[in-house]
Structure formats: C-alpha cells, structure tokens
Amino acid sequence: MKRGYVPVQRLATCAVVGMLGTAAMQSAQAFEGGVSPFPTGSTSEYIAALPPIPGLFAVEQFNYSSADGLYDNKGNKLPIPFKSQAFSATTRLLASYGVEWFGAKVYSQLVLPVVSLHTEVAGHGENHNGLSNVTVTPLLLRWDVAAHTNVTFGFDFALKTGSYNPARPSVAVGYTSYQPVLAIRHNDPDGLDLGISNRLLFNDKNSDTNYRSGTAYVADFIGGWNFGKWKVGVTGSYLNQFTDDRQNGSDIPGNRMRSFAMGPTVAYNAGPFSINMNVQRGLYAANTAKSDAIWINFAMPLWLGGPH
C-alpha cells in the first residue's frame, strides 16, 4: 500500500516563467513543473504493510504541505518570492485475495487523491482544486521471508487523469508514470521496525507540452520501536533524478531534481484499525521547492473474508 498525493511543488515554473524569463525557469525546474509524479514520503507507515488475510482494506490519508522557496541545481535558494500550500485527502483501497502465486500472497490496489492547492508568486495568488492522478496496481506480491520480515513487489501505474492545465499550476501531472516498487520490512510487534520502499519513475511524454520528465529513484523509509500498541520512530524520503528531462526531442542537461526529507512518526494499533501521524521536514532540495509535510493516516478493514 503505497500512495497519497501532495503535488506541492507543481506551480513553480508555470507561474515564474512569464515574470522572470527562461533562465529562471531552467534553474527552478526539473521534472515538468518541478514536481515528482509520486508524492515522496507518502508510504511511511505502509511500507510493505500488506495484510496477510483476505479482504478489502482502506487507508485514508490526510496531508498538509507548505513550501516557501525554490532551489537551484546546487541546492541554493533562488531569489524568487514564492509560497505554496496544499491539502490532500486520499483514499487507498487494497484487495487481498487469499491466494498465492510463486509463493507470494496476491493483492491489487486503487488510489484516489483529491487535492486543494494554493500558490503565491510575487504577491499573485492562485487556487486549484480537484482530482489528482489516479494510481492503479493490478498486481502486488508479498513474500514472508523470515519472522516479522516480508518483501513486496508491485508495479504502479500513475495514470494521466485528474485536473490538469498546462498553462497553470495544477493538482495533477499531464502524463502517465510507470513505477516498479520493491520494498522490505522487518516489523517486530514487540521491538524493532525497519523498512524501505525502492521505487523507479519512468515517465511518458506530456502530449500537451511535448515535455518528458527524466527517470528517478525514490526511497521512502521508516525506523522505529514498538511498545505494545504504540510505535515511535522516524520516517522520510529521498529522491534522485538520474536522467535529464527532454523537450521537443532535446535534452535539458544537468537539470535534475533531488530532495530529502525526514521527521518523527508515531502510530497506534487498536487491532481493527490503526492510526499514524508523522511530520516530514524538507532538509534538502535541488531544482524544486523544499516542502514540509504533516500526515495523518487511518487504516481499517472494510470486509474480511475467510479465516481471520
């Protein structure tokens, strides 16, 4: 279970271009619009957290993010008066089929994010609300490799859906992104919890702008300790774009997004449902905005099938 959506940085380039010209645009942007098609840090508590029993499960994710600056290729803040705020409410539905394939339990997932975005550049404010890119995961696999340790693999399709306008900051990106994900988690209910989700982003060309965002690696991670029903720890994310963006068939060299965020997390497991809250502070950003985020997540079963 992997995804909420918080496209906080989307607005940067669209709004700044007309005011500051091409040079400022290129220094402020990597990935089109300065935003990743995957909201880094959204996995957190749900890294490789697939229920071992059959049923239908839901995670409700609520997020508030804010940013107050754009950063160049060296991680220096640019002299651009820029602020953004975003609130998202995301429903993630997970189907657990109670069958095995190649020794793995089988799942599917659907992610439905709704976002409200406010942008302010040089005193000019703009709001945009709507459905963001819907993500589907037709096949998710979970292998139990040791006591309290499992490995999961899936392939996410972040679809070209939602409210997108190439002429303005939008709550969706205008292209499909293909995302293989490999995660591992050791979560002892009476002790150590360590997990990492490794994701690659392969992006289609945006047909409205003839722009193709580069390929990137994303790691979401968590580390903590379980005390009965409670858990405390840290969580965060790292993104590294390792191929150039392209527009009109030509590379945009050396202009690649990088970011790192981390902060505290606390969770409570009540059995039928669980709740998690975490705060992730942006510690580094290049060719994008540096944002801080607060997440509140609820997980619950909607229907349970078979023995449980």
Task: Give the model confidence (pLDDT) of 76-128 as tens digits.
Answer: 999 988 899 999 999 999 999 999 999 999 999 999 999 999 988 888 888 99
Split at pLDDT 50, 70, 90, the class of 308 is very low
What total number of domains does the chain contain?
1
Domain of residue 142: give its range.
12-304
Distances (CA, A) of 185 to 41, 142, 222: 16, 11, 9
Averaged over 236-261, what is the pLDDT?
A: 93
Q: Token match 């774009």: residue?
A: 241
Q: Alpha carbon of 233 to those of 205, 260, 292: distances in Å?
A: 39, 17, 18
Q: Is residue 195 part of a domain?
A: yes
Whether the predicted pLDDT of 204 surpasses 90: yes
H, E, C per residue of 196-222: EEEEEEEECEECCCCEECCCEEEEEEE
Q: Does residue 49 fall inside a structural domain?
A: yes
User: Would you say residue 28 has pLDDT above 90?
Assistant: no
Q: Which of 68-82, 163-177, 203-217 has the highest mean predicted lDDT (pLDDT)?
A: 203-217
Tell me the whole-structure pTM to 2 decimals: 0.89
Q: Does 146 fall in a domain? A: yes
Question: 177 CB contacts (<8 Å, ≥6 apart)?
Answer: 37, 38, 133, 157, 158, 201, 202, 203, 204
Domain membership of residue 3 (yes or no) is no
* Overall average pLDDT of the 255-283 stretch: 95
What average pLDDT is seen over the chain? 89
Question: Mean pLDDT throughout 242-250?
Answer: 92
**Per-residue model confidence (pLDDT) at position 33:** 77
- Mean pLDDT check: name the lowest of 70-74, 93-97, 192-196, 198-202: 70-74
Please check the confidence at residue 197 and state whether its pLDDT lies above 60.
Answer: yes
Euclidean distance between the first and the last CA atom of the chain, given in angstroms as a whole number: 20
Q: What pLDDT is attached to residue 150?
A: 98
Note whether residue 274 is domain-resident: yes
Q: How do residues 140-164 score in pLDDT, each as one tens digit?
A: 999 999 999 999 999 999 999 888 8
pLDDT band at 259; cut points 50, 70, 90: very high
Segment 8-25 mean pLDDT: 36
Q: Retrieve residue 285's tokens.
A: 């950003």
pLDDT at 12: 36
The SS3 of residue 263 is strand
pLDDT of residue 307: 55
- Asked whether residue 1 is domain-assigned, the answer is no
| CATH number assigned to the domain comprising residue 53 | 2.40.128.130
Q: Note whether residue 6 is domain-resident.
A: no
